[in-house]
Amino acid sequence: MPRMPGQIGRWIGRTGAAVCWAALALAPARAQAPANAQAPANDDPPEFQGVELVPSLGAQVPLDTPIIDWTGKTVPIGKYFNQGKPVALSLVYYNCPLICPLMLQRLQDRVNGVPFTIGKDFNVVVVSFDPSNTPEMAAANRTGYLGGYAKPRSPEVDAGWTFHTASVGSARAIANAVGFKYKYIAETGQYSHPSVLTVLTPDGRVSGYVSGLDLGAEELRAALLQASEGKIAKTWGDFFIHRCYRYDPKTGRYTLQAYRIMQFGGLLTASAVGLLIVALRAGERARRRERAPALPGAALAGAGGGR
């Protein structure tokens, strides 16, 4: 079974925790630095250098790359694409002492919080980049996290949230394509890596990134809507989020677009003015009818009825 956040106290003393925490602090700072900012001198310890997220919007994941699913079967990662659904890709390793289990728990919390259904509206693909991880470890994680999915289980859901292992070459090919830079630390037997979820279009292009540790589902919701070009929108709220939020590689977050807000504000104002004009005209017509004299025929009929 996958380790859950309640076990963090037992892991915190392990050597790998320092590596993961350092990677966490390192990756967002580099990913979010403005493009024109002066790069500070790199005084990180050697084991942390080169560990970062390099935003690669529009980059294509190599869909023919082979990975191994939780049953031990080798499949191309492209199996989960070209289905008309965006894909949330989580790169982790299953024996990570701290950050990866927390990332997977945050992922579970988020997919439970979005108004979309795994397998129907989007797919989730988890791939371990540690070649020593086994399909049995992938299967144990799959059982645990699918077991905590809030929506009803179905064959569609089971097919939509998948766990895998990969060879060194396959893991590097996928990670390099999405800008996920990680490093193996031989002294500790652990990995230093960014903490991020990559959201891809249905055909496998990078659409945006979501922090792997933040709480809340709204950013994942915005990312999935953008990756699907709004096609999975189900409510007016989804429509608003899709039209008004976009991934900003300078900040590493999904942010409101001011001009979209102004467009919607102008549309609402114009609509309100139009409705007011219609209401005023309708009221004026009603008042005219009230002031109009009775027709002569109606008056004679009334007189005849009084005899």
For strand 87-92 and strand 74-76, is the pairing parallel, antiparallel, or unpaired? Answer: unpaired
Which region among 69-78, 188-197, 269-278 has the lowest average model confidence (pLDDT)? 269-278
Q: In this model, does residue 6 exceed pLDDT 60?
A: no
- For the segment 174-230, what is each residue's pLDDT rounded down to a tens digit? 999 999 999 999 999 999 999 999 999 999 999 999 999 998 899 999 999 999 998
Q: Which two tokens stand for residue 140?
A: 């144990």
Would you call 266 exposed, middle or buried from its count of C-beta atoms within 10 A (0-12, 13-18, 19+)?
exposed
* Identity at 9, one-letter amino acid code: G
Which region among 13-27, 65-79, 145-159, 204-218 has the lowest average model confidence (pLDDT)? 13-27
Percentage of residues in the chain with pLDDT exceeding 90? 57
Q: In this model, does residue 54 exceed pLDDT 70?
A: yes
Average pLDDT over residues 117-137: 98
Confidence at residue 260, expressed as pLDDT on a 0 to 100 scale: 44
**Domain extents for the chain?**
5-256, 259-291
What is the distance between the alpha carbons of residues 30 and 132, in angstroms, rounded to a whole number? 29
Q: In this model, does residue 138 exceed pLDDT 70?
A: yes
Helix (H) or strand (E) holding 141: helix 135-147
Confidence at residue 275, expressed as pLDDT on a 0 to 100 scale: 65
Confidence at residue 247, expressed as pLDDT on a 0 to 100 scale: 82
Q: In this model, does residue 250 exceed pLDDT 90?
A: no
Does pTM surpass 0.75?
A: no
* Identity at 172, one-letter amino acid code: R
Q: Which two tokens stand for residue 258?
A: 């001011």
Strand blocks (E) in 77-154? 87-92, 123-128
Q: Which long-range contacts (CB under 8 A, 24 or more apart) does 219-224 make?
A: 219/253, 219/254, 220/88, 220/110, 220/111, 220/113, 220/114, 221/113, 221/114, 221/115, 221/116, 222/254, 223/86, 223/88, 223/199, 223/247, 223/254, 224/86, 224/88, 224/114, 224/116, 224/121, 224/122, 224/199
CATH tag, 5-256: 3.40.30.10
Average pLDDT over residues 108-117: 97
Q: In this model, does residue 20 exceed pLDDT 90?
A: no
Q: In this model, does residue 133 exceed pLDDT 70?
A: yes
The residue that leads in pLDDT, 248 or 159, is: 159
Average pLDDT over residues 170-174: 98
